[in-house]
Homo-oligomer: A and B are copies of this chain.
Amino acid sequence: MKKPTLQDVAAAAGVSYATADRVLNARGGVAEKSEARVREAIRRLGYVRDIHAANLSRRRVYAFRFLLPAGDHGFFARLRAALLAERPRRAADRIEIAFQEVPAFDAEALADALEALAPEDCDGLAVVAAESPRVAQALARLRAQGVPVVALVADAGPEARDFYVGVDNLGAGRTAGRLIRLAHGGGRRGLVLPILGTPAARDHRDRLEGLRQVLAEGPEPLAALPALEARDDPARMKALAREALRADPAPTAVYSMGAGNRGLIEALREAAPERRPMVALHELTPHSRKALAENLIDVVIDQKPAREIAAALDALKALADGRAIPAGLGAITPALHLKDNTPAAPSAREASGDLFA
């Protein structure tokens, strides 16, 4: 009734432990016939290698490396904090997390960093990728050298990595559009103001596209203004938003799909509270939390960085162990937060990622 060991498998296959081991660990030098009998015994007994005993024996620690964009604020800071928070927990499972910052939004710098990586000190790599030929090539080299690669948040293209963990940004944009439509129920007319960082960013483009799709749907399309480009800069955002909110006709809804929302929130706070537009924006930060609490905005769409980190680690572990990755692990569903379903803020220590304070 208890779990069979490799010894049991060997006995069942009528071979020695050594031969069963040769098959299991693909050491070669086994006759086809014997190999078949061992595999059959494994199947029949439902043998599963005891990964923990194996790791103990071979003194294995999983060295996983994360390449994350630098940045002390906003989403990447949360991603980094989530990673550092996982570090001590995963240590108990022999997972050692190496963490390296690379310049944000810079495919060349990312490629440099990837090219500098040696496969021997890395059992798995998670990277906020970019769709660039050099990045793809650097990843191809690493994978050829046996390093599993997980793309995180931003994909490198289906061919360039083993697994992708991230949200569906088109779906996020469509969901924002859907919420905006909901807020224009009862046949109310509206004018939607989209704000993005830059159309050069793939995720922003996807969100905008999703928004437009839904606004254009159905018998009563909603009108949209041209998208503002705030370049993820709070000051610029504030100036643009202030002006746009004063325009006539005023927008009835605002969807900000990039960063720098602090500026937008300041502009909203200064504007007349009555008849403020419906506002949806991205990422749960101290500022957006506060804005929700103060009824300055309505919805925050969040990428759940902590979940993305956890999923990436689980995927890397599965890849390193040669196991199947559970279905749906990489498809992170963006969370919608309104005023009353916002999880408690992480403590200051966790948020800063400083676990040694």
Q: With A340-B210, A341-B171, A346-B327 as known contacts, state yes or no: A48 contacts B186, CB within 8 Å.
A: no
Which residues of B lie under 8 Å from residue A51 when comparing CB positions?
92
A344 CB contact (under 8 Å) in B299, B328, B334: B328
Contact B48 A56 (CB under 8 A): no
Which residues of B lie under 8 Å from residue A172 when comparing CB positions?
341
The verdict on A25 contacting chain B, using a C-beta distance below 8 Å, is no
Contact A328 B343 (CB under 8 A): yes
How often does this chain occur in the complex, in copies? 2
Contact A298 B182 (CB under 8 A): yes
Contact A333 B331 (CB under 8 A): no
Q: With A52-B55, A188-B186 as known contacts, state yes or no: A344 contacts B326, CB within 8 Å.
A: no
The verdict on A117 contacting chain B, using a C-beta distance below 8 Å, is no
Q: A70 to chain B: closest CB distance in Å?
A: 26
Per the bound structure, the CA–CA distance linking A172 and B344 in Å amounts to 15
Per the bound structure, the CA–CA distance linking A178 and B341 in Å amounts to 10
The verdict on A83 contacting chain B, using a C-beta distance below 8 Å, is no
Q: With A52-B55, A89-B326 as known contacts, state yes or no: A343 contacts B333, CB within 8 Å.
A: yes
Chain B's closest residue to A324 (CB) is B89
Interface centre among A172, A174, A179, A299 (most CB of B within 10 A): A179
Contact A92 B344 (CB under 8 A): no
Interface residues of A in 49-80 (CB under 8 A from B): 50-53, 55-56
The verdict on A336 contacting chain B, using a C-beta distance below 8 Å, is yes
Interface size class of A (residues with CB under 8 A): 35 or more
Contact A178 B278 (CB under 8 A): no
Chain B's closest residue to A331 (CB) is B343
A183 CB contact (under 8 Å) in B56, B185, B340: B185
Contact flags (1/0) for A165-180 with B, using CB distance below 8 Å?
0001001101101110
Contact A338 B179 (CB under 8 A): yes
The verdict on A22 contacting chain B, using a C-beta distance below 8 Å, is no
Q: A178 to chain B: closest CB distance in Å?
A: 4
Q: A349 to chain B: closest CB distance in Å?
A: 10
Which residues of B lie under 8 Å from residue A53 when comparing CB positions?
52, 56
Interface residues of A in 305-350 (CB under 8 A from B): 323, 326-328, 331, 333-344, 346-347, 350
Which residues of B lie under 8 Å from residue A11 when comparing CB positions?
none
Q: A115 to chain B: closest CB distance in Å?
A: 27
Q: Please list 12 pairs of residues, one from A and one from B, whose beta carbons are closer than 8 Å in the complex, sorted by A's number.
A: A48-B91, A52-B56, A52-B93, A174-B340, A175-B338, A175-B340, A178-B339, A179-B182, A182-B298, A186-B186, A214-B340, A327-B347
List the 3 closest pairs (A to B, CB-CB), nearest first. A174-B340, A52-B52, A336-B336
Known: A52-B93, A177-B340. 16 other contacts (CB 8 A): A52-B53, A53-B56, A56-B56, A89-B326, A168-B341, A171-B341, A174-B341, A175-B338, A175-B339, A183-B185, A186-B252, A214-B340, A327-B347, A328-B346, A333-B341, A334-B341
